[in-house]
Amino acid sequence: MDELTWAVTDGPDGTAAVELPDDAASARRLDGQAGGFWCARRAGGCGGALRVVLDGARPAFRHTVDAPCRFLRRGAAAGHAYDHLRYRSALTGWLTAQGLSSRVATVTGPDGHTGLHVVVDALGAAVEVQLAPLTDTAWRARDDRVRRTARSVTWLHGPEADGVAATEASVRGAALSLRRHDRGLLVGVRDAGGGVRWVRLAACRLTADGITAPGLAEARAAHQRRAAARQDAARRVARQAGRWSQRAGAVPWDVRTGTLPFPAAG
């Protein structure tokens, strides 16, 4: 049977997600510590109460009452469905600690992964939490849509979104990765060369220009210097080619350097 191993402990509409341990002793310990388990509505579940059972190959949750639920025979799908809940509480708590209120919506991809779209109206800022792989084209399209209504857009890339994080870093000079750590979150400042510097989320702030993190401004500045150096080198080559072509009586070579096909960070 496709066992359900995910639940929330703060009511059917809660966000305190837990995964049931593999071994019976740890499962009993969690069962004794929690005040109850529910099938999370925010993860697409039915909201029903759950109990821990130990009669299978591994500990699992079972519904206490027979009722229609998407996870009854598809328990493995709950992992992706619950994933965003483990980030949501930490992110909203981080914003609250800064005196900011937020609106949080879920963004579900075709593979069932659910990310987060966080808006802080007081700053005109949006934070996109991407927890699933995303193509460059899809990232660009969603980024463009969000920027039509937000002053700034910051992407936080989860473990399975490293590909699009690398794309953003190569285009904008830096990208922010996001990982769970104990009960909190870590933010990684990824530079265009692929290096990542990890800091606690508490070391970051949200401003009207987006999320600030230690090392982020430096990574972007280094990228801008490298881009400027490349443009200068291209201009020198163009001038040299023009001089040689004029000597030969040909039309000078004209090199036009355009802007990157992505909006700037922030």
Same domain, 38 and 125: no
Query: Is 56 among the domain residues?
Result: yes
Q: What is the mean pLDDT of residues 189-215?
A: 95
Together in a domain, 52 and 111? no
How much is the average pLDDT of 133-162?
A: 95
The Cα–Cα gap between 98 and 206 comes to 8
Q: 205 and 128 in one domain? A: yes
Residue 33 lies in a domain: yes
Is 57 part of any domain? yes
Domain range spanning residue 200? 83-218
CA–CA separation, 164 and 142 (whole Å): 12
**Whether pLDDT at 161 is above 70:** yes
Average pLDDT of the residues in 9-37: 93
Q: Which two tokens stand for residue 54?
A: 């130990």
Do 145 and 54 lie in one domain? The reply is no
Domain termination site, one of 178, 193, 218: 218
Instruction: Give the N- to C-terminal CA distance of the chain in Å, as an integer.
Output: 47
pLDDT in tens, 61-78: 999 998 899 898 777 788
What's the whole-number mean pLDDT along residues 31-49? 93
Query: Do 90 and 199 belong to one domain?
Result: yes
**Of 33, 50, 73, which marks where a domain is finished?**
73
| Domain termination residue (choose one: 17, 47, 73) | 73
Q: Which of 17-26, 174-183, 224-233, 240-249 has the lowest mean pLDDT?
A: 240-249
Domain assignment present for residue 90? The answer is yes
